[in-house]
């Protein structure tokens, strides 16, 4: 699963800061307990010397560590019992002087055998979702709130079906796509007139795929191209460079509203770089556009057209503009 490296690093940094703060809090609480109940500090000091005492005791008992260890274990258990009783008499939990890690799997080291621990992966996902939701205008848009009532049942000669029938297929496909997203997923081209739910459905996919832990970048094509331009021509524009890197590296890139930007030579080459590089590296892309596939080909050239024709699954949207229908 391709979590965004930078986001994971940030998640790890935050988790370490939090662990540090928890540790400080523990030390502070322990100081207060020691002050109020000095016997507990004595007990803890003795317990901490167990290892040294095993060595000393082994010498004294003529070199038999087994006997020494058994005797010390008894003593330690008695000390722990005494400490528990002191704490509970003071109305404190029995574990008040023990520092437990927030994650028992990795003991808050965030890694297990060199691999990111589940706690770190979960936090990374949460961070990714937060980052994504800053870019997404979700407005309650989800597969559950998608309504078919805006798509007419009347047959469209040119399309060979009704908007409703078509949307039922498109919706199913998008829901399954999000549900089963993975390395074998296709890339999608959503094409159709404005106001038909392309942005709505791509938003739904973005949320669900991201919630599964994949890195998802959602942005308008115009903004992405602007960032590409800034990172290329701007001097040391770190924010733009980071955006470009995220666009190229994420598991799923959603470029919304392709065609609304000025089609300069730079834009054409940036789009080619995005489409081609992401195909070669096995990353998935969703393009949504008000242009027809033919218009896309004319606008961005043969190289891009052949990539899209060969590798993208085309989802055609048709019907009446929902924005206009809702206004009526
Ligand atoms: N199936 C749907 N049910 C309810 N509202 C929808 C649906 N599809 C789109 N909308 C609404 O209609 C408007 C246009 O949809 P949008 O996805 O932006 O269209 P497009 O991206 O195809 O131009 C938005 O306000 C959106 O919330
Ligand atoms: Mg749109
Ligand atoms: Zn962990």
The pLDDT, as a whole number, for residue 70 is 85
The pLDDT, as a whole number, for residue 54 is 78
Q: Which residues of 171-187 are buried (b: 16+ CB within 10 A; e: fewer)?
A: beebbebbeebeeebeb
Fold of 136-327: Rossmann fold (3.40.50)
Average the pLDDT over each of 97-101, 156-160, 235-239 and give the range with the smallest value.
Answer: 235-239
Tens-digit pLDDT profile for residues 18-42: 999 999 999 999 999 999 999 999 9
Ligand nearest to the CA of 104: 3
Distance 242 CA to ligand 3 centre (A): 28
The minimum-distance atom of ligand 1 relative to the CA of 200 is: 17
The pLDDT, as a whole number, for residue 4 is 66
Query: What phi, psi does 158 have (nearest 5°)?
Result: -65, -30
Distance 301 CA to ligand 1 centre (A): 29
The pLDDT, as a whole number, for residue 133 is 74
**pLDDT of 57 higher than 80:** no
Distance 323 CA to ligand 1 centre (A): 7
Number of Cβ within 10 Å of residue 310's Cβ equals: 8
**pLDDT of 257 higher than 80:** yes
Q: Where are the domains of the chain?
A: 5-116, 136-327
Q: In the structure, which protein residues have their CB atom closer than 6 angstroms to any atom of ligand 1?
A: 141, 146-147, 150, 194-200, 322-323
The pLDDT, as a whole number, for residue 3 is 55
The pLDDT, as a whole number, for residue 138 is 74
**273: Cβ contacts below 8 Å, ≥ 6 apart:** 228
Mean of all residue pLDDT scores within the chain? 91
pTM (predicted TM-score): 0.76
What three-state secondary structure class fits 205? helix
Cα–Cα distance between 268 and 273 in angstroms, integer?
A: 9
Ligand nearest to the CA of 141: 1
Q: Looking at per-residue confidence, does 126 or 181 come out higher?
A: 181
E strands, 120-251, are: 187-192, 216-220
Mean of pLDDT values over 185-204: 97
E strands, the chain, are: 111-112, 115-116, 187-192, 216-220, 252-258, 284-289, 312-317
């Amino acid at each position: 699963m391709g979590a965004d490296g930078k986001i994971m690093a940030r998640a790890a940094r935050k988790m370490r800061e939090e662990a540090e703060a928890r540790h400080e809090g523990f030390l502070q609480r322990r100081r207060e307990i020691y002050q109020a109940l000095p016997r507990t500090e004595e007990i803890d000091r003795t317990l901490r010397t167990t290892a040294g005492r095993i060595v000393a005791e082994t010498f004294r008992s003529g070199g038999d560590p087994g006997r020494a260890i058994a005797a010390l274990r008894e003593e330690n258990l008695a000390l722990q019992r005494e400490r528990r009783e002191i704490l509970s008499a003071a109305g404190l939990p029995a574990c008040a002087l023990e520092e437990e890690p927030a994650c028992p799997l990795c003991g808050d080291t965030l890694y297990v055998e060199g691999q990111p621990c589940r706690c770190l992966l979960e936090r990374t996902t949460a961070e990714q979702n937060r980052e994504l939701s800053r870019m997404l205008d979700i407005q309650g848009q989800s597969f559950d709130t998608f309504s078919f009532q805006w798509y007419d049942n009347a047959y469209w000669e040119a399309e060979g079906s009704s908007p409703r029938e078509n949307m039922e297929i498109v919706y199913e496909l998008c829901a399954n796509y999000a549900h089963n997203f993975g390395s074998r997923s296709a890339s999608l081209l959503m094409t159709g007139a404005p106001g038909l739910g392309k942005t709505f459905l791509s938003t739904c996919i973005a949320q669900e795929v991201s919630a599964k832990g994949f890195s998802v970048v959602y942005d308008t094509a115009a903004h992405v191209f602007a960032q590409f331009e800034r990172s290329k021509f701007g001097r040391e524009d770190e924010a733009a460079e980071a955006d470009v890197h995220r666009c190229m590296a994420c598991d799923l890139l959603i470029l919304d509203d392709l065609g609304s930007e000025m089609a300069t030579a730079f834009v054409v080459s940036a789009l080619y770089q995005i489409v081609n590089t992401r195909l070669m590296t096995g990353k998935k892309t969703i393009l949504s556009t008000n242009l027809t596939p033919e218009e896309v080909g004319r606008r961005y050239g043969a190289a891009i057209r052949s990539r899209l024709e060969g590798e993208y699954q085309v989802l055609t949207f048709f019907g009446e503009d929902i924005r206009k229908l809702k206004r009526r």
